[in-house]
Amino acid sequence: MSRGSGDMSPDSGCCGNTFWIPAFAGMTTKSGFFQVKGSLRRKATSVEKRFFVYILASRRNGTLYVGMTSDLPRRMHEHKTGAVPGFTSRHGVRTLVHYEVFEDAEHAIEREKRLKTWNRPWKLNLIEKDNPMWCDLTDTLNH
């Protein structure tokens, strides 16, 4: 599992071009993080299938939504355009503020269900730990 978030250092500003992304499970680096500059544009192959658990917000400390998908860039496009009617389009919940990556659907579904049982302050703490400015993380995704 890894979490995605923008680097909130003063050098990069809110969601600047440099991001620190936690290493995937089983991968190691000295600090446990990889530095990514700019945006990486690479499609996952069938061997690299990934699953995402994500949190959207309507605004800072606004309405929250927890979801799970195997194609987060596509799903974010659907949320942002309101292509799929439902909770997020009714409540204007379109900002990706937190996501986690899993190698298998079973663990992603388990994590999604667990997050949905969390109380609001726990979810807010999770978001603010990695994304204190509540930046939209959509641009940090690999497409």
pLDDT of 35-88, one tens digit each? 443 434 444 445 578 999 999 999 999 999 999 999 999 999 999 999 988 999
Task: Count how many domains the chain has.
Answer: 1
Please tell me the pTM assigned to this model: 0.69
* Token representation of residue 20: 């620190």
In a domain, 66, yes or no: yes
pLDDT at 32: 43
Instruction: State which residues form the domain around 100.
Output: 2-39+50-136
In a domain, 92, yes or no: yes
* CATH number of the structural domain spanning residue 88: 3.40.1440.10
- In terms of pLDDT, which residue wins out, 47 or 31? 47
**Residue 108 scores a pLDDT above 80:** yes
In a domain, 143, yes or no: no
pLDDT at 3: 52
